[in-house]
Structure 1
Amino acid sequence: MRLNGLELVALTGLLALSATGARAQTAEMTFFVTSAGSGKGADLGGLEGADAICQRLAQAVGAGGKTWRAYLSTQATGGAPAVNARDRIGAGPWRNAKGTVIASGVADLHGAATNLTKQTALTEKGEIVNGGGDTPNTHDILTGSQADGTAFAPGEDRTCGNYTKSGTEGAVMLGHHDRRGLDDSAAAKSWNMSHLSRGGCSQDALKSTGGAGLLYCFAGN
């Protein structure tokens, strides 16, 4: 089918408007699930490395003007205090790449009012992340956090050595972005505290339970 001059002009205008709208939504984005992890399992290079992953992916889609933080808690160790994920992400509200509000504030995010689901927990590109029933399933998201967004007590590893391990030792707490699991329990439906990794902190260990080393990223400004 051939288009005449007027039709080509109209089509070009529609495409330009669509692109402008997409850029506007991306500019408003303050939350996303990473489209990729570190590639080294739960070894993210600590919190600094995790934040850098969020910042780099946001920058790639034109949202790098904000300060991005990974939703991760750390455990107290070696004299360094614990860090709570809920204290790193600002006050909200947070919107995904399509402009949908995930939560209006920290309390809503960690309560029944949260709007974090498979359909809303999109990547920085605005894409849906595979969940239960998809191949491969990548719904396990690294959080190292308790359900209220606070850190675990020191002792048994819940953060893969504060995100520096990628071998068979250690474990990290994971959440289900699609809010579903093997049963109907609260843990299976938790976006930030579903279960620990099994078999260590490697990429293969994360894959074995339905993960890919992905993160939640929030803009605090």
Structure 2
Amino acid sequence: MKFAHIAVPACLAFVVTAASPASAQTAETSFFVTSNGIGNGGNLGGLAGADNHCQTLAQAAGFGAPKTWRAYLSTQAADGKPAVNARDRIGTGPWKNVKGVVVAKDVADLHSAGNVLTKQTALSEKGEPINGRGDTPNRHDILTGSQPDGTAFAAGEDHTCKNWTSSTQGAAMLGHSDRIGLRDDDASKSWNSSHPSRGPDGGCSQADLKTTGGDGLLYCFATN
């Protein structure tokens, strides 16, 4: 009986110790790619709907509140409202993925060649890689509506599916989460500004997003 009394707490101590590193990494998570999209093409319910999607997935994964999660999305000036830059929405960094890897130290680093976003580090909230070029299906097209420096496009040609409210009109600028494209140039390797969406319906339907290798996925960053 004495042996059994000692063995039980020892076993429990082992379990707690083994789980601690993973729990610590989860608590420090401040960046992920959504494992799934909202499912309505470029209509995300505006920035608020996209942010809520990030917050909901983070909460389900165990690292939601008290953190505030924001989608990396820009909007263009329209209807008297000014443009919003994705880079201004996401806090100051540094940002770590679910495995504890720092993908960028700050906003400047994130938008430089020095960030370490790749298929191996741009992981979902579940800690899984996102299918990229060569996988079936390819899902590496991430909605951003942004220029390479993280700023919004000028008013005029739509790059944001009517500021993330339309699945029938416009187009969306996309980034490649795996940094791989059809060509060996900066655009094909861009994580946030590779090419606009396109398809039979114009570029903003769910089917359109899948045409070039997407699924309506988002980059999510914790602002605090």
Counterpart amino acid of residue 135 in structure 2: D
Q: Which is worse superposed, 16-25 or 56-65?
A: 16-25
Match of 1:165 in 2: 166
C-alpha separation in 1, matches of 2:159 and 2:7: 59
- Distance in structure 2 (CA, Å) of the matches to 1:10 and 1:53: 41
Q: Which amino acid in the other structure matches residue 45 of structure 1?
A: G
Deviation at 1:10, TM superposition (A): 7.0
**Cα pair distance change 1:7/1:136, threshold 3 Å:** farther
The aligned runs of 1:22-37 (5 Å cut-off) are: 22-37=22-37
Alpha-carbon distance in 2 for matches of 1:67, 1:18? 29
Q: Cα–Cα, structure 1 residues 180 and 11, in superposed 2: closer, same or farther, change >3 Å? A: farther
- Identify the residue that residue 17 of structure 1 maps to in structure 2: 17
Equivalent residue, structure 2, for 1:120: 121
Aligned-pair RMSD on alpha carbons? 1.8
- What TM-score results when the alignment is normalised by the length of structure 1? 0.93
Q: Percent same amino acid at aligned positions?
A: 67
Change (3 A) 1:119 1:6: farther
Gapped regions of structure 1 (runs ≥ 5): none
CA shift, 1:18, in A, is 3.5
Matches for 1:62-101 after TM superposition, within 5 Å:
62-64=62-64, 65-101=66-102
1:57 lines up with 2:69 in the alignment: no
Cα shift at 1:8 = 9.0
Q: 1:13 to 1:203 in 2, by over 3 A?
A: farther
| Superposed counterparts of 1:99-110, under 5 Å | 99-110=100-111
Task: Give the secondary structure class of the aligned counterpart of 1:121.
Answer: coil
Which residue pairs with 2:181 in the alignment? 181
- Partner residue of 2:211 out of 208, 213, 220: 208
CA distance change for structure 1 residues 106 and 12 in 2, over 3 Å: closer, same or farther?
A: same
Question: What is the CA-CA distance between 1:42 and the residue it aligns to?
Answer: 1.2
Q: Distance in 2 between matches of 1:202 and 1:11?
A: 53
Any unmatched runs of 5+ in structure 2? Answer: none
Farther off after superposition, 138-147 or 21-30: 21-30
Give the TM-score taking structure 2 as reference length.
Answer: 0.92
Measured against aligned partners, the alpha-carbon deviations of 1:86-119 in whole angstroms (never above 9, x if no partner) come to 0000111000001000000111100011111110
The Cα shift of 1:46 comes to: 0.2
| 2:70 alignment partner, SS class | strand
